[in-house]
Amino acid sequence: MKIIVAKTGGFCMGVRRAVDMVLQASTRNSPPIYTYGPLIHNPQVLSILNEKGISVMTEIPEKGEGTVLIRAHGVPPEAQQRLQDAGFRVLNATCPHVIKVQTIIRTHTRKGYASIIIGDKDHPEVVGLMGYANGKGRVAADIEGLSAIPLFEKGIVVAQTTQNSRLFQEIQAWARDNAPHYKIFNTICNATDKRQAEVRQIADSVDAVVVVGGHNSGNTTRLAQIVRESGKPVYHVETEEELPADAFASVQTVGITAGASTPQWIIKKVYRSCEGMLLKNEKSWRVMFFNLQRTLLWTSIYLALGAGSICYTGLKLQGFDYLSPPVLVSMLYIISMHTFNHLTGRKADRFNDPDRAAFYRSNRGILTALAVAAGAAGLAIASYVGPLAFLILLLMSVLGISYNLRLVPKQLHTGRYRRIRDIPGSKTVLIALGWGLVTSIVPSIMRSGAVPGGTLLVFLWSASLVFVRTAFFDILDIHGDRITGRETFPIVLGEASTMRLLKGILVLNMGVLFFSSLLGWISPLGFVLMLVSVLLYLSIAAYEQSRMSPGIGLEFLIESHLVLTGVLGWLSTLGS
Ligand code: SF4
């Protein structure tokens, strides 16, 4: 069983930019805020935007107030003028690639050229482009349509930015033979080109392909058409519910791609469905292993195991033999905080991990009891050991619990910073700090009431490892976080810069281990632990190069690096 997810699938730069602009407008501009036409054809996204006070305008009124965002497709210049004349503040989120095509048409129209647009005449982008042709524009969907248009003395040919690149090559060949005086502009955007090239490649290497996106989305339909031309079965679906139950009855490998306005969480839902359907073709032990992985991840038990492992090995690194109470406290704290935050942060989970959100919804009672019991047990052990460890753990617990809660009432402050989670990057930093403290500083205090230098090095090692793991998951959750307004590192810095940052941190992490062990500040086990950083580096690089797809398998693999620290720590004791 194998699923290949196209790296180029989902939100393109233009859609992402438009989403960012409208979310920014909702926090900076006074209401009302509108998008001229739906930003994305997805009811969940529209309802989230609605909750943020962003509604859809379908007709331009005579008079109005507030801000209107023009979507990535662009609009005819008259529509923009009418919006301004009506009294709206206009935010133009037209994609730069579309602006380029508009400019080509406008410039040539002024010089007396007629414009032929190869595309879908009803698509908003094409409607917008026609507005720049000043009545001298024509639309053709294919060669037949193009041949039916009378030849112009002066003409240009451009493409809708999401046009099929093979079709446009044929159009170019037709023009060379039939209208050599026409100026041809290949205006297909590179995101579209790459998406189409990748789906051709994927179709060659799998048994079936799922294309995710609106049935009325031109670019998604073209992706499905490309797969069809390859001879492989294709399922064009808007949601996972449209996948036929027997779709993969005799299939081993499936490819998934998606249109330019398909959010990642819908791709994820489809991925999970495909995973479940393909599992039916697998041997029973693989099904059991998959279910075990999922349960361990969803209940945060595997994470707690990771925390216990880091704590155990951190103590070993410092040569301490006082192990059980701190390891237990770290595990209880982590399971309690992560469960609690999944319970209170279900809105983002609804997009980022819908299955997990459903699991938390249906087991709310038992999971709340688990979070409370684990937190209380951790605090009880810490208080038994000493007041300082108890106080630090209590403070960390309060901070952890309040992360998703509104701390500043609306009456006092209506701005955006009302919860800790509203601070950009706070989630990743706080998780890393929390893990670092509970796996290094708290254990040292529990042991001797002091924090020696070696403990600070262990803190750095632990916090940096967890920072990388958390920020990596932020990259996977970028679309859901973007829509729900969470400003994580990938949203603030961009995906590519975050990847570079994570790799840099892992190199530093290895450096800390290497020099601290070399100088005798921590035990030689530090040399061995460099292996974990190397493997984590390779795993995120493999994802970056599309050699791994998001899903339970990848999540389990990333968390396994934390558990591996414990295995290596334990192995180091075998010879002694
Ligand atoms: S598909 Fe290309 S042109 Fe269209 S919005 Fe996305 S990036 Fe811009």
Tell me the DSSP string of 144-158: HHHHTSPPPSSEEEE
Q: Give the position, in ligand 1's atom list, of the atom nearest the Cα of 15.
A: 5
Q: Give the pLDDT confidence of 301-329 residue by residue, as tens digits.
A: 999 999 999 999 999 999 888 778 999 99
pLDDT of residue 107: 97
CB 310 within 8 A of CB 465: yes
Q: Which fold has domain 12-95?
A: Rossmann fold (3.40.50)
pLDDT-derived band at 558, boundaries 50, 70, 90 = very high
Of 51, 78, 125, 242, which one is the catalytic site residue? 125
Domains of the chain, by residue range, sit at 12-95, 98-188, 192-284, 291-574
pLDDT of residue 210: 95
pLDDT of residue 23: 83
Domains 98-188 and 192-284 share a fold: yes
In the structure encoding, which two tokens stand for residue 25, read together?
């407008």
- Choose between 467 and 291: higher pLDDT: 467
Mean pLDDT lowest among 212-216, 372-376, 555-559: 212-216
β-sheet with 89-92: strand ranges across:
54-57, 33-36, 67-70, 89-92
pLDDT of residue 495: 85
Which of 11, 13, 168, 195 should be mutated for ligand 1, with most atoms under 8 A from CB? 13
Contacts of residue 94, Cβ cutoff 8 Å, sequence gap at least 6 = 70, 71, 72, 73, 74, 75, 102, 128
Q: Which fold has domain 98-188?
A: Cobalt-precorrin-4 Transmethylase; domain 1 (3.40.1010)
Measured over the CA atoms of residue 24, residue 27, residue 28 and residue 34, the dihedral's sign is positive
The residue contributing the CA closest to ligand 1 atom 5 is: 14
Before 32, cis peptide (omega within 30)? yes
What are the residues facing 257 on neighbouring strands?
211
pLDDT reading at 130 higher than 80: yes
Cβ of 468 closer than 6 Å to ligand 1, yes or no, is no
The 10 Å Cβ neighbour count of residue 63 is 8
pLDDT of residue 265: 79
Q: Give the pLDDT confidence of 444-496 residue by residue, as tens digits.
A: 998 888 888 889 999 999 999 999 999 999 998 887 777 777 778 988 888 88
Rounded (5°) CA angle 337-462-306: 55
DSSP class of 30: P
For residue 155, give the nearest of 175, 169, 171, 141 by alpha carbon.
175
Measured over the CA atoms of residue 483, residue 484, residue 490 and residue 493, the dihedral's sign is positive
Ligand 1 centre distance from Cα of residue 188 (Å): 9
pLDDT of residue 69: 95
Cβ of 296 closer than 6 Å to ligand 1, yes or no, is no
pLDDT-derived band at 553, boundaries 50, 70, 90 = confident
pLDDT of residue 149: 92
Cβ of 101 closer than 6 Å to ligand 1, yes or no, is no
In the structure encoding, which two tokens stand for residue 120, read together?
């879908």
DSSP class of 242: G
pLDDT-derived band at 385, boundaries 50, 70, 90 = confident
In the structure encoding, which two tokens stand for residue 209, read together?
């392909």
Q: Give the position, in ligand 1's atom list, of the atom nearest the Cα of 97.
A: 3
In the structure encoding, which two tokens stand for residue 51, read together?
């909750």
Active site residue 125: yes
Q: Give the position, in ligand 1's atom list, of the atom nearest the Cα of 219.
A: 1
Cβ of 95 closer than 6 Å to ligand 1, yes or no, is yes
Secondary structure element (H or E) that encloses residue 185, with its range: none
Q: Which fold has domain 291-574?
A: Farnesyl Diphosphate Synthase (1.10.600)
pLDDT of residue 406: 67
Cβ of 23 closer than 6 Å to ligand 1, yes or no, is no
Q: Give the pLDDT confidence of 140-197 residue by residue, as tens digits.
A: 999 999 999 999 999 999 999 988 888 999 999 999 999 999 999 999 998 888 999 9
pLDDT of residue 575: 63
pLDDT reading at 279 higher than 80: no
**What CA–CA distance (Å, rounded) separates 99 from 102?**
5
Cβ of 22 closer than 6 Å to ligand 1, yes or no, is no
Which of 101, 161, 257 should be mutated for ligand 1, with most atoms under 8 A from CB? 161
pLDDT of residue 251: 82
Around 454, how many Cα atoms within 13 Å sit in the side-chain half-sphere? 19
pLDDT of residue 417: 61
The residue contributing the CA closest to ligand 1 atom 7 is: 14
The residue type at 447: R
Which of 192, 217, 219 should be mutated for ligand 1, with most atoms under 8 A from CB? 192
**What CA–CA distance (Å, rounded) separates 400 from 438?**
12
Q: Give the position, in ligand 1's atom list, of the atom nearest the Cα of 95.
A: 8
Q: Give the pLDDT confidence of 495-513 residue by residue, as tens digits.
A: 889 999 999 999 999 999 9
Cβ of 261 closer than 6 Å to ligand 1, yes or no, is no
Give the Å distances, CA to CA, from 121 to 108, 185, 307. Answer: 20, 18, 57
**What CA–CA distance (Å, rounded) separates 372 from 386?**
21
DSSP class of 247: T
Count Cβ neighbours within 10 Å for each residue of 279-306 and write b for 16 or more, e otherwise.
beeeeeeeeeebeebbebbbbbbbbbbb
Q: Give the position, in ligand 1's atom list, of the atom nearest the Cα of 96.
A: 8
pLDDT of residue 328: 95
For residue 558, give the nearest of 336, 376, 331, 306 by alpha carbon.
306
**What CA–CA distance (Å, rounded) separates 536 from 562?**
9
Q: Give the position, in ligand 1's atom list, of the atom nearest the Cα of 18.
A: 5
Q: What is the mean pLDDT of residues 235-241?
A: 90
Q: What is the mean pLDDT of the chain?
A: 89
What are the residues facing 116 on neighbouring strands?
138, 157
Ligand 1 centre distance from Cα of residue 142 (Å): 21
Tell whether domain 192-284 is in CATH 3.40.1010.20: yes
For residue 552, give the nearest of 363, 275, 256, 280 by alpha carbon.
275
- Choose between 409 and 247: higher pLDDT: 247
Q: What is residue 450's three-state secondary structure?
A: coil
Cβ of 237 closer than 6 Å to ligand 1, yes or no, is no
C-alpha 197 chain-centroid distance: 22
DSSP class of 207: S
Cβ of 516 closer than 6 Å to ligand 1, yes or no, is no
pLDDT of residue 508: 96
CB 429 within 8 A of CB 411: no
Q: Give the pLDDT confidence of 506-549 residue by residue, as tens digits.
A: 999 999 999 999 999 999 999 999 999 999 999 999 988 877 77
pLDDT of residue 550: 77
In the structure encoding, which two tokens stand for residue 227, read together?
């797969």
pLDDT reading at 336 higher than 90: yes
Cβ of 97 closer than 6 Å to ligand 1, yes or no, is yes
